[in-house]
Structure 1
């Protein structure tokens, strides 16, 4: 009888200890993995982060402003304050007048001289007749007759020779009826060769009187 009581008491104690053990042990906390939030980069402490790059641009691409600044073909337009080149040229030299004078000069023919001579040759008289006729049809045009020589001789001698050639040509035109106040003369000697070279194939073209339209 006592043995059974002891066994019952022992069972009760064992059950009580088990209950205490189960209820007394703390639960293992659940581990929750979290990812730290990304922090926007900052240039300096206390300074705001730079604005994000525009959509569609990559690290290797350049902005339209950079491309426009580096492109040699890019030219300013009137909408952004550019001054057209024609306006600049017009303000400086009136290009329409310059082009007209150049075209007029092409209508007048040069004449050529023999070596060390300032006499008008027979073949040059026909060209001068055409120049005289053109000047009569264009009475407002003024010309300058330039005297030239080849490279042989000193600069001083060739300046004098060029002067004789330009004066002889001017006198011929005046004798044919062209007003003297429309014609002036100058000498360049050998300083402005028409053809470069060191033989008669070049020299014959440099012994000349050249007609340059100076005004209209």
Structure 2
């Protein structure tokens, strides 16, 4: 067999393959029965619903207890002159404000802490701090605060507000602090 014969067989095989491919893709035609879905009819004007705003809130199904936010109460400190437990006019003004707060909050108990500057002996400053705390407590009691709501303590020079060794720091440290002990 010659070279021409081989070309002829190759062409025949190629033709048969193409014919088979075309026949397999053709297949039978089926008609699909497809009906598009019906769209809803547009609403007529008389079919529309009007929504009125709600004027009252509905009653809750469960009763809810609302806990009021706890009010933070702060009492201001007072200051004293050097080597003194006498209340200054400014200290009396602050004590009056503190007393009003305590009258408005009768459940509050306080501790008044007397403090001194670093000058003087430990014993002297503890005694002076106690006299300062007692002077503030006496003012509050005269204002109408029950003595059972007040404790006093002296820290002398042991707890300075300002640790520097200057006249300004010493003035800050000569004080009475008011600490709420049951808020």
Assess same fold via TM > 0.5. yes
Spell out the pairing of 1:1-216 with structure 2 (5 A cutoff): 103-104=72-73, 107-216=74-183
RMSD of the TM alignment (CA)? 1.3
- Quote how far apart the aligned CAs of 1:208 are: 0.2
- Quote how far apart the aligned CAs of 1:169 are: 0.5
CA distance in 1, matches of 2:181, 2:121: 29
TM-score of the two chains, using structure 1 as the length reference: 0.51
Runs of 5+ unmatched residues, structure 1: 1-99
Instruction: For CA contacts below 8 A with separation 6 or more, give which structure has more relative contact order.
Output: 2
Aligned residues, how many? 114
- Aligned partner of residue 111 in structure 2, secondary structure: strand
The structure with more radius of gyration: 1
- Quote how far apart the aligned CAs of 1:165 are: 0.2
CA distance in 2, matches of 1:127, 1:158: 23
- Quote how far apart the aligned CAs of 1:196 are: 1.3
CA distance in 1, matches of 2:105, 2:111: 15
CA distance in 2, matches of 1:207, 1:201: 10
CA distance in 1, matches of 2:123, 2:93: 31
